Amino acid sequence: MKDHKGQISFPGGAYEKRDGTLTSTALRECSEEIGLASEAVELLGELDDTITTTSPYIISPFVAEIPWPYLFKRDPIEVEEIIEAPLADLLAQDCLRQESEITNGLPVLPYSYSYDGKVVWGATARILNQFLGIWASLL
């Protein structure tokens, strides 16, 4: 975790040949990082690929339903803390922040989400924003 150490993120990691598919990579990483058994997962779909701006990665996020409550078991080497946030709280207007900044000489309006004293930003916030937009359109 040399590139994004200490940042809030979804479970994930690099594709390995033995995975066969990116879906299998996502399930393996969830199992390794947070103890989520693949048989507990109902895959719902895949979001758009997201490119990180501070490192050379492309993230292929998946959305799944899992039973709640679920007894996660974090890998203390890879995961400091698991944050659970209700969708209603993430959709609240005071949770989303957008502050203009200049990146590579161009104005951008990055997303960040603040919940329970934690701030989600960068690629994770962009993924979360896409998911919440889809979720809100279904309500």
Q: How far is CA 118 from CA 57, 81, 84, 90, in A?
A: 24, 11, 11, 12
Measure the CA–CA gap between 65 and 136, rounded to whole angstroms: 16
Give the chain's domain count: 1
- At residue 1 the predicted structure's pLDDT band, cuts being 50, 70 and 90, is very low
Domain that holds residue 111: 17-138
**Averaged pLDDT of the chain:** 91
Give a yes or no: residue 2 inside a domain: no
Supply the CATH number for residue 72's domain.
Answer: 3.90.79.10
pLDDT tens-digit map of 23-68: 999 999 999 999 999 999 999 999 999 998 878 889 999 999 999 9
CA dihedral 12, 69, 80, 87 (to 10 degrees): 70
Give a yes or no: residue 86 inside a domain: yes
Q: What is the pTM of this model?
A: 0.87
Give a yes or no: residue 41 inside a domain: yes
Give a yes or no: residue 108 inside a domain: yes
Give a yes or no: residue 11 inside a domain: no
Give a yes or no: residue 64 inside a domain: yes
Give a yes or no: residue 7 inside a domain: no
